Structure 1
């Protein structure tokens, strides 16, 4: 299959139309661990106000890409821009626009829900009063206001994930990255989490990059980037994936795009 032409991010600055600046623009990024190439010339965009699924099996390179965007790793090739800010040259400005939910749980289990959120707010320079108001507002939206004083360890897995999303939104980012956020959740909790994030996209026009290997989490109208063995195999809308592969459901389209490599992985 021939890849779609790469989209070009508009530079942030004079004359740039804000709507034309992607929430995330990755260009020609390669990353290696010794002799192993984890990412190979990866390029993708997440438009503002879009739900973009980064679809690939375990080991595809999704977590490595997230680590580069968040500066846990340094991208030594290509370029990564968050809302037009270069993550290498303007890391503070770029990361201020970014909220992240990592695959591994990162809440302090011995602190209360509210204390976890206030600590994160402080890291972003938000005062106690403003941080508390923002935290309680977001907890109410997530249906967790009544758990604010509970220790995190007393929450269910799905509730912990919802608190992590609240934490990621404390500083009002315009891009939200979620790395396999539903791993380990039951079907009902997984559906609730996906619905919560989709509501954020619809109501607040946040750009979302949702990394997953679960086909069922992707819906018609979503943007999709297929990543396999460190390479982008296809990019486009849900409908374009089906049309370009001549299939009528996404699972079949994915298998056609990665071919026998998926079975061998």
Structure 2
């Protein structure tokens, strides 16, 4: 099976700084792939290189078998791009924004009209087709950008921080749209996000740090690689208990998940942890690793 995209040993530099440093990453058709990493890690640069907006210094990028250096036009025709910043024309109506995109990709008029109707209904925008974009909410404008990206039937949709600034209900609706594209149309979705909960929805997660791909795999596999990472304690006084554990040499912290004690093989150190605390301990439980744990263990090392 030809990969939806295949990035090999990619290097991209800006003004002497290496933004992407030897990254290799691939996905099959119909996969959702999340890029995680701190600001400045190289996520956006990787997406721009894959979309042919930024030329690589070295390495190879193929999109459905098309080498972006040899035939960038063929590669671009298989890609739909949703940028972090809105790129719609706010003064034009919803439908005219889509017509402009259809002309850009050379869709014949009859085909363009049919596809515009399709995507407007698909994303519940049909009743807003005559409205200027400036009248749309942030969530509807983002849905329009995704609809526009799909107008020419790409096999790969690339999104850079697609839900930044949107409220939770709108984010949930957008993710339902993206999962539907994967499940019903086998569209491959590649997105950068700083929401760890959104990365949980991906089939594959790639963590980028300082331009390097430092960890990758399914969310389940990445979490399993850490094993159990912490003990969660409930005590009569978590503040006192936290101080005592820190003085005893444990990595302890109060979180919304309770008083956490991170250590190697925590299941074998329960008695030692409890003995280090003078206040009554009412509950001790193993806390299974989360994608947050994977991310922080990777980017803080």
Residue 199 of structure 1 pairs with residue 240 of structure 2: no
- Secondary structure of the 2:206 match is strand
CA distance in 1, matches of 2:3, 2:132: 37
Choose between structure 1 and 2: higher strand proportion: 2
Which secondary structure state, in structure 1, belongs to the residue aligned with residue 58 of structure 2? coil
What is residue 294 of structure 2 aligned with on the other side?
A: 253
Q: Which residue of 1 aligns with 2:283?
A: none
More off after superposition, 114-123 vs 237-246: 237-246
> Per-residue deviation at 1:69?
1.3
* Cα distance per residue 1:184-243 (max 9 Å; x no partner): 111111111111111100110011101111101123662111111111011111111011
The whole-number CA distance in structure 2 between the counterparts of 1:209 and 1:70 is 11
Shift of 1:154: 0.3
Q: Is the 8 A contact 2:94 2:144 kept in 1?
A: yes
- Please, which moves more after superposition, 175-184 or 28-37? 28-37
**Range that drifts further, 187-196 or 217-226:** 217-226
Question: 1:66 deviation in Å?
Answer: 1.4
Q: Which range moved further: 135-144 or 216-225?
A: 216-225
The answer to whether the Cα contact below 8 Å between 2:13 and 2:57 also exists between their aligned partners in 1 is no
Q: TM-score, normalized by length of structure 2?
A: 0.78
Runs of 4+ in 1 over 6 A off after TM superposition: none
Rg larger for: 2
- The 5 A counterparts of 1:102-117 are 102-117=83-98
Rounded to whole Å, the distance in 2 between the matches of 1:176 and 1:220 is: 16
Give the unaligned 5+ runs of structure 1: 1-19, 261-265
Asked if residue 93 in structure 1 is aligned to residue 134 in structure 2, the reply is: no
Question: Does the aligned pair in 2 maintain the 1:220–1:239 contact within 8 Å?
Answer: no
TM-score under structure 1 length normalisation: 0.88
Equivalent residues in 2 for 1:127-146 (5 A)? Answer: 127-146=108-127
Gaps of 5+ in 2: 230-288
